[in-house]
Amino acid sequence: METMRGLAGQYLQTLSTLLTQIAETQAERMDAACTILAEEIGRGKLVYAWGTGGHDNRSAEELLWRAGGLAAFAVILDPGLSLMHGATKATKIERMPGYAKSVLDYYRVGKDDVLLLVNSYGVNVLTIDAVHDCRARGARVIAVTSFEFPESVAPDHPARHPSKENLHEIADLAIDSFVPAGDAVVDVPGFPYKVAGISTLLNVYILNALVCGTVQKLAQAGIDPPVWVSANAPGGDAWNKRLLEQYLPRVRHL
């Protein structure tokens, strides 16, 4: 009988393997993304971030008001995708044509902006619409998504965009999160389906790696990186007050 330690170990081993794959194969893509992000922030611009799925939304939220994170991330937190407002409703919205435009309009994503788009599966209507709409308004898209997962989604699956396009193929730059087909990764003896989804942890690793690389590039360019300090750490409130004066009027959810 598989012990709990054995199942947890299976999850840990899979996570470790996938994180290593990302680190070893996506370094060049992540460095290119960091260059773009640092250039935007260095010019005093915001970088928009949006997770176009229920749990992807929570991955993007990692970038907002985060100790050690960048104040220049304007995270899009549309309530329609929040699980607290209804998980099944969020799934329906992911498949709703035209919804992406209304959200991007509301957050005023425009020409020459950059959107960091997080979607583990890379096929849904909202995600593909977001890329098309960004292109139409002259904004660039950096995607964090699985290159493998879309191959497991049939062309006629109801989640798919009518174009049948995959996010990693149409974004300006895409970083492979290596989320496997089905997302869940642990085999439990006697149960036919895998359990324990892994996409959120993979996404958050990539996002924090991008923060690290972006801060490094800003510092190397002689630019003071706008990094939050924990509000619970000594001096945190005083440090953050300076950043809030600059970003509170500009970042909608601060």
Q: What is the pLDDT of residues 7-32, one digit of tens each?
A: 999 999 999 999 999 999 999 999 99
> Which of residues 133 and 85 earns the better pLDDT score?
133
End-to-end CA distance of the chain: 49
Q: Residue 132: pLDDT band by 50, 70, 90 thresholds?
A: very high
Q: What is the DSSP string of 12-45?
A: HHHHHHHHHHHHHHSHHHHHHHHHHHHHHHHTT-
Q: Residue 4: pLDDT band by 50, 70, 90 thresholds?
A: low
3-state secondary structure of 100: helix
Residue (of 105, 136, 131, 109) closest to 118 by Cα position: 131
Query: Which class for 194: exposed (0-12), middle (13-18), buried (19 or more C-beta within 10 A)?
Result: middle
Q: What is the pLDDT of residue 1?
A: 47
Q: What is the pLDDT of residues 25-56, one digit of tens each?
A: 999 999 999 999 999 999 999 999 999 998 99
The domain ranges of the chain are 4-247
3-state secondary structure of 249: coil
The mean predicted confidence, pLDDT, of the chain is 96
Q: List the beta bridge partners of residue 175.
A: 144
Instruction: Give me Rg for the CA atoms of the chain.
Output: 19
Q: What is the mean pLDDT of residues 66-81?
A: 97
Q: Any idea which architecture 4-247 has in CATH?
A: 3-Layer(aba) Sandwich (3.40)
Q: What contacts 98, CB < 8 A, 6 or more positions away?
A: 129
Kindly report the pTM of this predicted structure. 0.96
Strand 184-186 to strand 195-197: parallel, antiparallel, or no bridges (unpaired)? antiparallel
CA distance 122 to 109: 20
